[in-house]
Amino acid sequence: MNLQKYIAGIIAAAFVAACATSCQDRLEEQYQNPEKTTNASIDKFFTKMLDNRRVRADYWNIRTLLVMHPAVYTNIVSYPNTPKRYQEQLSYLNDYWKDYFTPNGDGVAGIVPHMREIEKQYATLSAEDKVKADVFLNAARIVYYDQTSQVVDLFGDIPFSEAGMLNLTGETKAPKFDSADEIYNALIAGLKESAAYFATASLDPLVASSFGKQDMLLQGSLDKWERYANSIRLRLLMRISFQNEQKAKTEILEMLNAPGDYPLVDETTNNILLSPLTTYTDYMRNAVTELESHLAPEYLMENVLRPANDPRIRVLFDKNVNTKTKVPNADYYSMPANIPSTDQETNIAAGKYAVLDSTTFMFNTKFPGIVITAAEVNFIRAEAFERWGSTAQAQTAYEKAVKQAVDFVFYLNNVGATFRGVPAEDALTPTEVSDLLASATVAYTGTTDEKLAKIWTQKWVDFGFMQSIQGWSEVRRTKYPQLTFVPDTGTPGSVNPPSRLLYPDSEKVYNATNYESVQSKDTRDTKIFWDVH
């Protein structure tokens, strides 16, 4: 589906007005199977929170948020050197904001209003029924905390404690902005509490059946919900580790040193992935080609993948074909970042640059939404041990993470190949993995700083453009990889990538009084509270 079709389908609605007039109507239009339900209730609201286009490999999310903003700001995708390349597109940021704060339609999770509806209905239950509903409440909270942390990572201070009051109390109250630091503390504490619930939860058979039916993410696995909560908590603790090292160090080491008490998503069998809906038939080709985001980016290819002879190259990219001779290119050529846009466009038209792999990415209708993977968790573990523990343990975790990251891309290629009925790329061999881990730019050698740089760089590769919100957060936190950007001198005020996203105009208009409290922070150069390194 192309961008024009999406634009034609958008109906602009003011934040407060939309909630006041249509929130309840939309919430009543629920799902059954669980892709469609017949009435509004806690379990149905929970399913609605999971059905999130901001998690799935959805055209609109990829095209208007990921490859236009955080992926560009981390150099993980290609982009022409044209004016406004680093400038935020506020109308699209408003869409992202609305998808979090309001229920907007199919595939829009409306995280805040649905969480508040669950809390409202839970409060009316008897003590006996609350016990039965606890599994939905705690699973919904984990999703809520995860999604909220990403909004904070993009914008900083946001409405939190008073957000969604219309759904919770019926009061149309303009919500105050809470401190990003305080929100993070609440999320970390909340994730610990919900993980503790799942650690000991024992469900009535009927409740277990209902939960399994409505849980389109983890199919009712209490073990995976506990791992999900612990792993997101681990992510957030590491995110604040340069801003509040003592808290992060204490809580992270407590978790890592007691794996039986704090199980994590540390094996690939526990990856948290959101499968496409059974009715989904689209793919991401248009989303990545409309902005020339599909070409091999120079830093990734020339500074990271090629020097290590990384086997991922063959499943990340296709060599492409010369449009004049119709002959495949001899190698995987990346697009230089520092040549004029006219030269870039000429070479693009000639088919000179490698492009995203058609099976892994472009036409992969079964590409999952990536929530958190074992590779990320083990990169966090490696960083923690390198900074606060044993470098030998750090090496073990790092090498496991690199292998898992490589395996995951080959897995995605196989998923796409199976669905399309085409051959997958040559299978990954043990020798290729051992050679990668022994290569100079990947091998776990050097000083502590050099080892940390390798952890952070490999983590950046693993996130790619589909997890570029996480990638951008980590680049800002760690300052690795050490990227350079060609200044956009033709766009005053947006010469370089920002440190945060600007608040959408709708918030300035419809929450004007509370916006005044954060207006001085609403600049491209204001850093998120954890960005202190």
Whether 38 shows a pLDDT value over 50: the answer reads: no
What are the distances in angstroms from CA 216 to CA 114, 220, 247? Answer: 16, 8, 34
CATH of the domain at 257: 1.25.40.390
Single out the residue of 106, 109, 121, 127 nearest to residue 167, CA to CA: 121
Whether 511 shows a pLDDT value over 60: the answer reads: yes
Question: What is the domain count for the chain?
Answer: 2
Q: Of 211, 230, 264, which marks where a domain is finished? A: 264
Q: Of 232, 264, 296, which marks where a domain is finished? A: 264
125, 196: one domain:
yes
pLDDT, tens only, 394-429? 999 999 999 999 999 999 999 999 988 999 999 999
What is the arithmetic mean of pLDDT over 35-60? Answer: 83
C-alpha to C-alpha distance for 180 and 189, rounded to whole angstroms: 14
C-alpha to C-alpha distance for 478 and 474, rounded to whole angstroms: 6
259, 381: one domain:
no
- Residue 396 within any structural domain of the chain: yes
253, 200: one domain:
yes
Single out the residue of 29, 24, 56, 25 nearest to residue 44, CA to CA: 29
Whether 5 shows a pLDDT value over 60: the answer reads: no
368, 435: one domain:
yes
Whether 9 shows a pLDDT value over 80: the answer reads: no
403, 427: one domain:
yes
- Residue 257 within any structural domain of the chain: yes
**Phi, psi dihedrals of residue 371, rounded to the nearest 5°:** -90, -60
> Which single residue is written with the structure tokens 């395996």?
407
pLDDT score for 13 = 33
What are the distances in angstroms from CA 122 to CA 115, 140, 181? Answer: 11, 12, 28
Q: Of 236, 264, 292, which marks where a domain is finished? A: 264
Instruction: Look up residue 161 and give its two tokens.
Output: 């404690």
What is the arithmetic mean of pLDDT over 363-378? Answer: 97
260, 271: one domain:
no
- Residue 514 within any structural domain of the chain: no
pLDDT score for 419 = 87
pLDDT, tens only, 285-323? 999 999 999 999 999 999 999 999 999 999 999 999 999
Instruction: Please provide the average confidence, as pLDDT, over all residues in the chain.
Output: 92
Domain carrying residue 362: 267-500
Q: Give burial (CB, 10 Å; 0-12/13-18/19+) of 278.
A: exposed
Collect all residues with Cβ–Cβ distance below 8 Å to 365 and sequence separation of at least 6.
Answer: 276, 280, 281, 282, 283, 416, 419
225, 276: one domain:
no
- Residue 507 within any structural domain of the chain: no
Residue 521's CB: how many other CB atoms inside 10 A?
Answer: 15
What are the distances in angstroms from CA 13 to CA 16, 108, 476, 517? Answer: 9, 14, 33, 24
- Residue 27 within any structural domain of the chain: no
Provide the β-strand partners of residue 297. Answer: 335
Max Cα distance, the chain (Å): 74
Collect all residues with Cβ–Cβ distance below 8 Å to 523 and sequence separation of at least 6.
Answer: 502
Whether 16 shows a pLDDT value over 50: the answer reads: no
Whether 69 shows a pLDDT value over 80: the answer reads: yes
260, 272: one domain:
no
C-alpha to C-alpha distance for 239 and 244, rounded to whole angstroms: 9
pLDDT, tens only, 159-175? 999 999 877 777 788 99
224, 301: one domain:
no
- Residue 251 within any structural domain of the chain: yes
- Residue 309 within any structural domain of the chain: yes
- Residue 20 within any structural domain of the chain: no
pLDDT score for 467 = 98
| Top mean-pLDDT range of 28-32, 168-172, 386-390 | 386-390
pLDDT score for 28 = 36
Poorest-pLDDT segment among 170-184, 188-202, 429-443:
170-184
Beta strands in 374-474 (DSSP E): none
457, 475: one domain:
yes
Amino acid at 245: E
Whether 217 shows a pLDDT value over 50: the answer reads: yes
Whether 378 shows a pLDDT value over 60: the answer reads: yes
258, 372: one domain:
no
274, 150: one domain:
no
Distance from the Cα of residue 491 to its chain's centroid: 28
